[in-house]
Structure 1
Amino acid sequence: MRYAQAKLRGKLITNLSDLYKVYRDDYRGNAEALTTFLTEGVGIKRHFASSIASALLDLAEARSELAGEDGGDASSGGGEGGSQERMVTLAVEGNISAGKAGSKSTFLNVLSHEDTCLHDILKVVQEPVQQWQEYRCRDIEGNEKMENVLEKFYSDPDRYAYSFQHYVLLSRVREDIKSRARDGKQLRVLERSIFSDRQVFVRAMHKEGKMADFEVSVYNQIFDDHLNNDLQLIPDGFVYLRARPDVCLQRLKRRSRSEEASIPLDYLRMLHENHEDWLHEQSVSAEALVQDPLAHAEVLKPASDEYVRHVLQSNPDFKTEVLPNSEWRLATLQHVPEEIRGQVLLLSGAPELPQLKNRLALVMDHDQDVDIDNDADARAEYANKIRAFYDFVRQWKHEEEREQEEQQQLQQLLQALGRAGGNGGQLASL
């Protein structure tokens, strides 16, 4: 079967899903026509080609029996979806005082304004700052008291950096879980996610020596445990409000939050660099991916013939996972809505956070303040961009879920065929 594998990969058919798609879409379930293609078009010997086509016929029939002859794909319609559809969750990320929330003219207030296109579908989850400012605890004698954890962190970060970051993580997780009830809303917008804590703020404390190596390792272990136990903590997309550090400092002084009075410009610059590294450097624009898909073939679509030959020659024990079948991503990125064209990034996922791979991010420059009371055009522009991004992420999410479901079904059916002693064994090595 190695001979057949090599021939198929030469035609960009790298796994069972690819082959089934060819059989279903190009040959309409005609096993004889597929056999001819595999023999004459691919170059596989006829007895192998006939076995493969026969196995795919069995696979298609078994799939029809499980799904119902005319059952269709419930996730492919692109409509409003059933009652089981989760809300789309976007996390708004940005520097301290980038303009996310906290004053009348900030980004989340713009989105929530009653005359925007988002008002009826939007649920906003703001940072639990009050919990950080009013933490109830007990002294050694059991007397209850209130502590301002945020103030303690800023006044003595060497002592309290780890305690603060750990509590921020716990409080975000708690608020995330509490806010998942749909309440008739289709879009949930978080003011920051747990990922900015790890990728931006904990990294800053580590760089400055405010958190020791072992403290960061403990934090990361706790973070990973939360994430592995609850994948809904991963937002469906990110909105990055990019603002210059000097602009953030001006806004910080204007909002006059007492705990932040001592924040220096250098600290804001470090946070800005960490945001850029996470949400900009570890990503690639949708336009670049469409123009140069070969450079990112492992993310977007099966590679070119030349790349396949290179992989086969340099990796004798080639695994099909090297070239996953994700061509729908490229097709989707070719149709980024006009309102946000040139602003959408595809995250590559840091090595320590592979869960963020292929998540979408919208970059919005946010150096200018918006007067939401008097500037209706600016309100509408902001809201329309987020609405367009929401629709785009929703479409992306549907395609991902459909792909995952199809892969699971194919594997289950293949295992069933193998147990039944049919032709499934001919496909097992693909």
Structure 2
Amino acid sequence: MHIAIAGNMGSGKTTLTTMLSEHYGWTPRFEAVDNNPYLDDYYKDIARWSFNLEVFFLKQRFRDLLEIANSSETIIQDRSIFEGVYVFTANNKAMGNLSDRDFETYMGLFESMMAAVKHPDLMIYLRASVPHLVQNIQKRGREYEQAIPLDYLKNLNERYEDFIFNKYKGRILVVDVDPLDFQHNPKDFASIIDKIDAQIFGLFP
């Protein structure tokens, strides 16, 4: 079985992935971004290297999907190939960093890949407001994240909403995380567990 956790930066994806893997005994899979050989060039000249960067991420995420599909374990994945395409690459295109030609080539490659794999059994979308995201980003204190513009987070949030409710074709569980503190409040975490059990095990009406 394949469970994916989706959500904007600061929504709690990595924390929930870790907690659910421990609760259910699932195998966690986290995205490795540090080994992309285009990252340094990308930040020096975003428009020039965006296509290379996005294709490399696409290749890595597709390989992850193939490995997950061939695994006998239940995998819980922190961010999926679908977010990379419909949120982050789409945002790069909207910002003018990808030409129409490059974006069409990229999407054609993605659509060809999708013919070889299936959607996750469940996509858990952590829905969060921008103030909630900012609070979490400030709390975890990663230096490179502190200067992220609010408009950027807002744009990503809008793309997540469009992705989840208009473009994604698989099974979705939406969790509004603003009122929750599932990391520190057992009742909040239990409420998420109940929803997951209802979706994948049918234990609740």
1:253 is aligned, of 138, 150, 164, to: 138
SS at match of 2:57: helix
How far apart are residue 155 of structure 1 and its match?
Answer: 5.5
2:121 is aligned, of 219, 236, 245, to: 236
Contact 1:154/1:262, CA 8 A, preserved across alignment: no
Which residue does 1:390 correspond to in 2?
A: 200
1:378 is aligned, of 177, 188, 196, to: 188
Which has the greater radius of gyration?
Answer: 1
2:151 is aligned, of 248, 259, 266, to: 266
Cα gap change, 1:156 to 1:245, in 2 (>3 Å): farther
Which residue does 2:175 correspond to in 1?
A: 364
Contact 1:111/1:382, CA 8 A, preserved across alignment: no
Cα distance in 2 between the residues matched to 1:380 and 1:194: 28
Q: Deviations over 1:345-391 (max 9, x none)?
A: xxxxx4xxxxx54x22111011243334xx33333322232222222
Q: CA RMSD in A?
A: 2.3
Cα gap change, 1:161 to 1:259, in 2 (>3 Å): farther
Cα distance in 1 between the residues matched to 2:102 and 2:56: 13
Percentage of identical aligned residues: 28
Cα distance in 2 between the residues matched to 1:199 and 1:279: 9
Answering whether residue 114 of structure 2 is matched by residue 227 of structure 1, we say yes
Contact 1:128/1:175, CA 8 A, preserved across alignment: no
Cα gap change, 1:128 to 1:209, in 2 (>3 Å): same
Q: Deviations over 1:3-43 (max 9, x none)?
A: xxxxxxxxxxxxxxxxxxxxxxxxxxxxxxxxxxxxxxxxx
Contact 2:18/2:28, CA 8 A, preserved across alignment: no
Contact 2:66/2:117, CA 8 A, preserved across alignment: no
1:100 is aligned, of 7, 13, 16, to: 13
Cα gap change, 1:382 to 1:123, in 2 (>3 Å): same
Give unpaired runs (5+ residues) of structure 1.
Answer: 1-86, 136-146, 283-349, 351-355, 393-430
SS at match of 1:231: coil
Which residue does 2:21 correspond to in 1?
A: 112
TM-score, normalised to structure 1, is: 0.43
Contact 2:175/2:192, CA 8 A, preserved across alignment: no
> What amino acid is the match of 2:66?
I
Q: More relative contact order in 1 or in 2 (CA 8 Å, sep 6+)?
A: 2
Pairing of 1:340-359 with structure 2 (within 5 A):
350=167, 356-357=168-169, 359=170
Q: Deviations over 1:209-257 (max 9, x none)?
A: 11111111111111122222x123x223311100112221232233344
Give unpaired runs (5+ residues) of structure 2.
Answer: none
Pairing of 1:128-139 with structure 2 (within 5 A):
128-132=32-36, 135=37
TM-score, normalised to structure 2, is: 0.84
SS at match of 1:169: helix
Cα distance in 1 between the residues matched to 2:70 and 2:88: 29
